[in-house]
Amino acid sequence: QVQLVESGGGLVQAGGSLRPSCAASGRTFRSYAMGWFRQAPGKEREFLAAISRSGVNTYYADSVKGRFTISRDNSKNTVYLQMNSLKPEDTAVYYCAAYSGPEYSVYRGDYDYWGQGTQVTVSS
């Protein structure tokens, strides 16, 4: 069992930055690839970024490539999402998730555990 708790969301102006983080409980954090997703009102949950267990390999959705960076610190059981050049359309609830399969996945159905989400609001 893995429990995930996101923090670090908030309100920011367009062009600004935020770095949500996701803290995992337990000693098995490094056994999971991690991903970040978001869900805006009335829309489906959308894949953003994923990182392998070691942190060596990362993968991004085209919508955030070049603006967002996923990273992890296995010594702190924490995964981060550095978000730069934020736009009003980035406004959503942001979720982290843990995946026990090989390497990483872009499909939300593959993920085993989810956090409760953190709200990010970008004003124009």
Instruction: Please give the pLDDT value at position 94.
Output: 98
Q: Edge-to-edge strand order for the sheet containing 68-73?
A: 4-7, 21-24, 78-83, 68-73
pLDDT bin (cut points 50, 70, 90) of residue 31 is: very high
Instruction: Please give the pLDDT value at position 34.
Output: 97
CA distance 123 to 101: 37
Q: For residues 69 and 50, is the Cβ–Cβ distance under 8 A?
A: no
- Strands 118-123 and 10-13 come out as parallel
